Structure 1
Amino acid sequence: MLKIGEFAQLGNVSIRALRFYHEEGLLEPSHIDPSTNYRSYEPKQLRNLQDIRLYKAIGLSLAEIRELLRERPTLTELREILGDRRALLKRRIQDDLECLARIEAQLNAVAGERERTGWRIEVREIQPVWVAACREKIGAYEEADYLFGEIERRMEPELLAGKRAALWHTCLNEGPQIDCEALRFLKHPSSPARGIRVYQMPATRVASVFHTGADNAIPQAYKTVQAWLGKSNFVSRGPKCEIYWREPHKGGDDESLTEIRLAVFPRDGRSRVQRRAA
């Protein structure tokens, strides 16, 4: 069970938005504490939240979203809905290229990889965030635990926020050693500690996918994202980012939840301003 704040962060929405979705009958909490009225959610509800965000992103009304959530359209019907909306935007708002690119990306995700694998690839904007980082070259992925331990030993516990994360600058299949940058998110800027770098990660657009289950299936999730990128309007640059929202207990791989993020850029290489001026 996830607290409302954790679920809001996981779904990239505000707590206020979750309360609004509840009031509008779009997303009911899994549990409401009768004494405090505090809402809690299950990880499996993330799919419903992603659907709501997708429908809102393409401009559907609350009534239309409520109907789609109730009827659960098939993949074919969902492709038709997205296609109709794309045509409407092309006729109505020729200058809205950013919205059009988002719909194209979602069409590719719905039409292809989700149907075969169950993974949903989502393009999302990530806000700047302060992190404490420990970067070293390691021989095995398991050695990243040592890097996380270094951060957690050397930084004040009250500074740390959220879950563990990692930037993989080089993976095992890309060189003789793994280049890993272990991260812990910070509540606010702080002075660095010995061997620990503190910096602000910039705002960026990412292709994001959530993987539930054993780590040995994560490479297939990466292949799915790469295949999706090959058909999208985006290219990926920079290190791979993983956020470990829920780490498995002994014998409990099914409980783990990992988010994979790849920084993406328009395939034509031009900025938003340059594209609009063209």
Structure 2
Amino acid sequence: MVSIMYTIGEFAAIGRVSVRMLRHYDAIGILPPEHVDERTGYRYYADRQLGALLRIVELRDLGCGLDEIGAVLAASDQQTALRDALVRRRVELEAGLAADTERLDRIDERLRAMEGAGTMSISVDYRPMDAVTVYAVEGRAPGMGPENVTPVVDQILPGLIRAIEASGGALNEPGVFWYEAVPDSEELAVHVSFTADADPREADGYEVVELPPIGTAAVLTHYGDMPSIGRSWMALMEQIVADGYRISGPTREIYVEAGSEDQSTWVTDLVAPVEKV
């Protein structure tokens, strides 16, 4: 059966994409033309390629990345690959909806506070803190915020727990997390730790780190889950500025009560080293 051939302009019009996008799909290898005229360089597409073009358009409209689309088109079992891609995209969209819902709640709370209908009660304690020795591991997040930090914590925390238990150590509470900007980078160093034993033991899988004492620490206690902790951090920072201080070192999260699977019961001290401006 002879294929019908289309110029790049005709093929683009059928798929309702631009000629520039077809050239891009060719350049990255997910939809090369059926034939390229050696003399003129003109691209021609066959009618049998319409299915691939329409699939690309559909998946792009659903927000799938070109790498994933290319994998679907290259799969020996395209139906299974397509189903897997759609399931992954659905999970991503659900996570995005949850994040957007949480942002809407924060906006509503902020608007109520501005209108005087619901102000957040802030109690910041300024006090010194002793040095503490911990068993720690480090990961890198693309930026601050629970959406960036939480996946890193979820990735490195189980390994830390296994390493401490394998060394014969105990998972001593409270856990201490601290964060530092990575020089010459937009990344954030995420440090996850448990309080060390009275006689700290070296072992593979973690470092023994002594967190220095803090002369003056601004401390705000956060009650509740991790997705909402950003609001408490923002409140702490605003209060620090209002009280005439500035941040003078890495901030910490001290997990005072975090043993339950129900994060609504968690108690976390948010700690920022400060000094008077």
Q: What TM bracket, shorter-length normalisation?
A: 0.3 to 0.5
TM-score scaled by length of structure 2: 0.48
Could you tell me the TM-score, scaled by structure 1's length? 0.48
Q: Flag the structure with larger Rg.
A: 2
